Amino acid sequence: MSQSGSPSTPPNPQANAQPLPGVRRVIAVGAGKGGVGKSTVALIAAVGLARHGASVALLDADVYGPSLPKMTGTSDRRLDLDKQTGEVLPVEVAGFKLVSMGHLIDPNEAVVWRGPMAQKYVQEFLQRTRWGELDYLIVDLPPGTGDIPLTLAQSLPLTGSIVVCTPQDVALIDAVRALRMYEKLGVTTLGIVENMSYYICPHCNSRDEIFGHGGAERAAQELNIPFLGGIPLNIALRAHGDAGNAEACFTDVEPPVRDALDGFVARLAQRIDEQDSAGSAPPQLNISG
């Protein structure tokens, strides 16, 4: 036990992680707190990379609050099993594969589990799903720094993580918490994304910084972590998410919004390529406070 009374993490959870056959890269998307839009960012990354011709899958590992079925219009679909092999067959939508607890339960049903049960289901999804040949497996983690990120780090060698923040100055606090978690897990942080970064009026294209601006970018600079860009707060993005039309976030939005999303996806792909070239050793972070 650690001095705080909580179980200490292994010295390097990634040391004994075993890759999934056919899966080239695993990207974790997380945040130090809830409500910052990490599922939106994970979905935009999956759709954007698939639009560029990559083979992509998205695992909704937020077993307590699975929102991706709603955001992809697949809430009424259920996961199938191959009766001969026992493999889980993912739902296919918007050019990528999707697996979520939301495809196993009623949308209005609450998942009331202790941590070990949630960890078990994430491991089952990872190991029993027929992923096929993938360029990217993106994992949408639950908020915070709990058991499931540790389970993921112990199960799979991760290419890296994306930290999602909001514009306020308090984003620095949440970024530090998430970055410390990934550092302890031996996982490289690919970069920080500022969600709800600014508002673009759909009528006049004027820009307003409703929640302030630049908190996540300043956090990235202070922590010497790449800044992957800002995703605007936009009515069309909200409407497409509510309607479950993920592809429309790139095709039926104002040009400044589309440019912001395309820029984020391009910087993410470039950062992953740089990480591939540099090897898997995580950088040494100098985090104070």
CATH number for the domain spanning 130: value is 3.40.50.300
Residue 135 lies in a domain: yes
Q: Each residue of 140-182: pLDDT tens digit?
A: 998 876 788 888 988 999 999 999 988 887 767 877 888 888 9
pLDDT of residue 171: 66
180 exposure class (CB count in 10 Å sphere: 0-12, 13-18, 19+): middle
32: number of Cβ within 10 Å: 23
What domain range is 248 assigned to?
A: 26-275
Decide if 147 contacts 118 (C-beta within 8 A). Answer: yes
Q: Each residue of 33-49: pLDDT tens digit?
A: 788 889 999 999 999 99
CA 101, CA 64: separation in Å to the nearest integer? 8
Token pair listed for 162: 């994306």
- Dihedral, CA atoms, 144, 138, 59, 243, nearest 10 degrees? 90
CA 220, CA 231: separation in Å to the nearest integer? 15
Residue 287 lies in a domain: no
Residue 8 has pLDDT above 80, yes or no: no
What is the per-residue burial (b if ≥16 Cβ within 10 Å, else e) of 231-259?
A: bbbbebbeebbeebbbebbbeebbeebee
User: Total structural domains in the chain?
Assistant: 1
Residue 15 lies in a domain: no
Residue 109 has pLDDT above 70, yes or no: no
Residue 97 lies in a domain: yes
Residue 80 lies in a domain: yes
Comparing CA positions, the residue from 174, 128, 120, 149 lying closest to residue 29 is 149
Residue 12 lies in a domain: no
pLDDT of residue 70: 93
Residue 124 lies in a domain: yes
278 exposure class (CB count in 10 Å sphere: 0-12, 13-18, 19+): exposed
Residue 283 lies in a domain: no
Query: Which of residues 212 and 135 earns the better pLDDT score?
Result: 135
Q: Each residue of 233-262: pLDDT tens digit?
A: 988 999 999 999 999 999 999 898 999 999
Token pair listed for 218: 């300043």
